[in-house]
Structure 1
Amino acid sequence: MEQLVSVVIRGEQYTIRSTEDPSYVRRVAAYVDTKLNGVVKGSQPLPPTKATILASLNITDELFKAEAERERFKGLVTVKLDTLSALLGTVLEEGVNGPNGNDRESEVSRA
């Protein structure tokens, strides 16, 4: 259900319409506010549009790096799962055929 959430960014109040939890919307707005403040503090006075563009570039850089890291971890997990699957297949095959490739039922019936 959509809700209206009031937030303040760079001293200006905005009303955001969102289906997200209001605390989440406030957290996102606070993050944007922090990024904008960081851009403004770190330089000479900037027009609001330039500050917004620079903060957007910083946030987008963080997003792209986080996505690249997620993809890297996804690849690592895939490799680990493939390795575990192969090991499990080997163990299960040995369990059925015995460690020397002999069928366990044959070994038991010979005893």
Structure 2
Amino acid sequence: MEQLVSVVIRGEQYTIRSAEDPAYVRRVAEYVDAKLDGVVKGSQSLPPTKAIVLASLHIVDELFKVEGERERSEGLAATRLGNLSALLGTVLEERASGPEGGGSGVQS
């Protein structure tokens, strides 16, 4: 269910229509506000549009880096799972062809 959430960014109030939790929307707005503050503090004479573009670039850079790290982590997890699966297959084959010969590996 969409609702209206009031946020303040760089001293300007905005009303955001969102289906997200209002606390989440406020947190996002606070993050954007902090990024803009960081850009503006670096250059007080920066026009607002340029500050918005630079803050957006910083945010997207963070997003891309996190996405890259997630992809690397997923690849590493997939590799490890593949290695474990192969190892398990080897162990199961060895048990099946062990001294009891082709048994289920279950002993009574």
Fold shared, TM-score > 0.5 on shorter chain: yes
Once the two structures are TM-superposed, the CA of residue 104 in structure 1 deviates from its matched residue by 4.8
When the two structures are superposed, what TM-score results if normalisation uses the length of structure 2? 0.90
Larger radius of gyration: 1
CA distance in 2, matches of 1:23, 1:33: 15
The structure that is helix-richer by fraction is: 1
Structure 1 runs not aligned, ≥5 long: 106-111
Which residue is 2:20 aligned to?
20
Q: How many residues align?
A: 103
Root mean square deviation, CA, Å: 1.3
Moved over 4 A (4+): none
Task: Deviation per CA, 1:48-91: give whole Å up to 9, x if none.
Answer: 10000000000010011111111111110010000000011111
- State, as a whole percentage, how many aligned pairs show the same letter: 73
Structure 2 runs not aligned, ≥5 long: 104-108
CA distance in 2, matches of 1:61, 1:50: 16
CA distance in 1, matches of 2:45, 2:101: 80
Task: Deviation per CA, 1:5-33: give whole Å up to 9, x if none.
Answer: 00000000000000110100000000000
